[in-house]
């Protein structure tokens, strides 16, 4: 970069509140990550081609983008999109709907539709994501699985993050109907699970009880690797369209893909017995679902680059990061342990200040529904709550870890990280 161009870049970052020292830290870290960034681009290339292939073989055409209303009978776009997801993720069937409001809803739908009174749900990877605690009934809530006589058992990971196979085997019995495997770390600082590790776990579970349903919570994991959970033995997986697979364009929605029987159960629970997949109007938003899916692999690659940059910078600054800057990536989330309430708040306020939308808003911790402590969230997003967009959040409790994710472009992710560091430096929490 010429001196004149370098000065131009420094000036625009200065206008956005990034000082010289933080800017230089970012430039050096970025240069050190060049090879890593190239690897993410190759994965995105592979997954982009998978998406195009799935769209081609299922004959996506302009008619698929037409709006339907009312019952939504014979909705060509809806049916074709579900075939695309089925092909892309190697399932037998799929349910991809705007009526699925979020990731928690998709997971609750998958569980409640495939479990019956007297069945037991097993988590062999420790505590589930906070909002699922009320779905399951770990924390009492109206309509939980526990209220319907469905029991729950949990096997924690070993201290090194590996599976406790001995306890898992002992926990599987005649009432064990479904095993739920959370791919992402959620609000924990454990490692996220690779597709290979998920495959090993599923193979072990099936060796103990072949007929058990293995479901993967795939939130934050789509397109991070070349394979997805169904390719390593999962029976069902679920996720949110305002995370990875929506590419930042989907305004709402969730998906389930897997065995035909599991999807049929979910469809009857989503709508009504006797109706299933036959109803559910698209209300004119299917083009954003298709186009978002088309863009998703490269949006995810940008988010991964941002996550690694955050790990590189914050590790160098002396903070614990999970995963660190050298580890393989299995979701888009980067955890940074700030150690204090003040550090978490300063980090999130820096992310908010970097947003294109609502940059002037000041995040405050609050009692968010579904959580057992105050949560702080930074998300100046085009789609409310979209965590494929630049965002950061976390529960205000030890170890005071903030969870950073997203950025529809790497440039925006980079700005957010630098702004978070600048905010910590300005508050005297970080020395540069």
Domain boundary among 249, 284, 319: 284
Question: Which residues does residue 121 pair with via DSSP β-bridges, in sequence order?
Answer: 152, 178
298 shares its domain with 276:
no
Residue 149 domain-assigned? Answer: yes
Residue 53 domain-assigned? Answer: no
Average pLDDT, the chain: 96
- Can you list the residues of the chain whose pLDDT is less than 70? 1, 370
203 shares its domain with 113:
yes
Residue 118 domain-assigned? Answer: yes
173 shares its domain with 217:
yes
Interatomic CA distance for residues 34 and 28, integer angstroms: 10
143 shares its domain with 280:
yes
226 shares its domain with 99:
yes
- DSSP letters for 68-82: --TT-TT-HHHHHHH
Residue 215 domain-assigned? Answer: yes
Q: How many domains are contained in the chain?
A: 2
- Burial of 227-253, coded b for 16+ CB within 10 Å and e otherwise, reads bbbbebbbbbbbbbbbbbbbbbbbbbb
Residue 58 domain-assigned? Answer: no
11 shares its domain with 82:
no
Interatomic CA distance for residues 63 and 76, integer angstroms: 7
Tens digits of residue pLDDT in 173-226? 999 999 999 999 877 878 899 999 999 999 999 999 999 999 999 999 999 999
**Which positions ≥6 away from 334 have C-beta within 8 Å?**
306, 307, 308, 310, 311, 321, 322, 323, 403, 404, 405
125 shares its domain with 223:
yes
**Which domain does 93 fall in, by range?**
69-284
159 shares its domain with 90:
yes
Residue 33 domain-assigned? Answer: yes
91 shares its domain with 23:
no
Tens digits of residue pLDDT in 314-343? 999 999 999 999 999 999 999 999 999 999
The pLDDT value given to residue 212: 98
The pLDDT value given to residue 133: 94
CB 266 within 8 A of CB 113: yes
Q: Which residue bears the tokens 């010289």?
A: 20
3-class state of residue 150 by DSSP: coil
142 shares its domain with 37:
no
- The CATH number of the domain holding residue 339 is 3.90.1150.60
The pLDDT value given to residue 49: 98
- DSSP letters for 6-56: HHHHHHHHHHTT--HHHHHHHHHHHHHTHHHHHHHHHHHHHHHHHHHHHHH
Domain boundary among 232, 256, 284: 284
What is the pTM assigned to this prediction?
A: 0.96
Interatomic CA distance for residues 338 and 394, integer angstroms: 11
Domain boundary among 284, 309, 332: 284
Residue 51 domain-assigned? Answer: no
Q: Which residue bears the tokens 């990731």?
A: 103
Stated as kind and residue range, the H or E segment containing 96 is strand 93-97
- The CATH number of the domain holding residue 196 is 3.40.640.10
How long, in residues, is the chain? 432
The pLDDT value given to residue 432: 86
The pLDDT value given to residue 149: 98
Residue 206 domain-assigned? Answer: yes
The pLDDT value given to residue 186: 79
The pLDDT value given to residue 363: 95
360 shares its domain with 276:
no
Stated as kind and residue range, the H or E segment containing 111 is helix 103-114
CB 406 within 8 A of CB 388: yes
The pLDDT value given to residue 3: 79
260 shares its domain with 114:
yes
């Amino acid at each position: 970069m010429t001196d004149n161009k370098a000065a131009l870049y420094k000036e625009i970052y200065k206008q956005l509140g990034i000082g010289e020292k933080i800017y230089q830290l970012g430039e050096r870290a970025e240069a050190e990550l060049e090879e890593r960034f190239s690897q993410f681009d190759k994965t995105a290339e592979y997954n982009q081609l998978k998406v195009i292939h799935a769209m081609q073989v299922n004959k996506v055409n302009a008619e698929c983008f037409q709006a339907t209303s009312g019952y939504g009978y014979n909705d060509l776009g809806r049916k074709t999109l579900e075939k695309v997801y089925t092909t892309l993720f190697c399932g037998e069937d799929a349910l991809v709907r705007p009526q699925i409001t979020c990731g928690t809803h998709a997971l609750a739908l998958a569980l409640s539709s495939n479990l019956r009174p007297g069945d037991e749900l097993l988590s062999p990877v420790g505590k589930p994501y906070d909002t699922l605690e009320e779905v399951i009934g770990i924390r009492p809530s109206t309509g939980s699985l526990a209220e319907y006589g469905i029991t729950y058992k949990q096997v924690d990971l070993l201290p090194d993050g590996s599976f406790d196979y001995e306890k898992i085997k002992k926990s599987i019995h005649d009432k064990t109907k479904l095993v739920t495997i959370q791919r992402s770390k959620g609000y924990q600082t454990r490692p996220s699970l690779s597709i290979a590790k998920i495959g090993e776990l599923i193979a072990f579970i099936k060796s103990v009880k072949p007929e058990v349903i293995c479901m993967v919570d795939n939130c934050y994991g789509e397109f991070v690797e070349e394979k997805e959970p169904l390719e390593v033995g999962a029976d069902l997986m679920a996720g949110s369209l305002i995370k990875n697979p929506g590419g930042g364009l989907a305004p709402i929605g969730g998906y389930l893909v897997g065995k035909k029987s599991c999807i049929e159960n979910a469809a009857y629970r989503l709508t009504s017995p006797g109706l299933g997949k036959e109803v559910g109007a698209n209300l004119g938003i299917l083009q954003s679902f298709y186009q978002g899916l088309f863009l998703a692999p490269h949006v995810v690659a940008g988010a991964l680059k941002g996550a690694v940059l955050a790990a590189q910078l914050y590790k160098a600054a002396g903070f614990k990061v999970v995963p660190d800057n050298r580890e393989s990536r299995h979701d888009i989330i980067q955890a940074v342990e700030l150690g204090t309430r003040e550090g978490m708040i300063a980090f999130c306020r820096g992310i908010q200040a970097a947003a294109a939308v609502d940059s002037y808003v000041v995040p405050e911790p609050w009692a968010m529904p579904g959580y057992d402590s105050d949560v702080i969230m930074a998300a100046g997003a085009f789609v409310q709550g979209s965590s494929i967009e630049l965002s950061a959040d976390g529960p205000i409790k030890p170890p005071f870890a903030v969870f950073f994710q997203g950025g529809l472009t790497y440039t925006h992710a980079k700005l957010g990280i630098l702004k978070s560091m600048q905010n910590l430096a300005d508050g005297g929490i970080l020395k540069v």
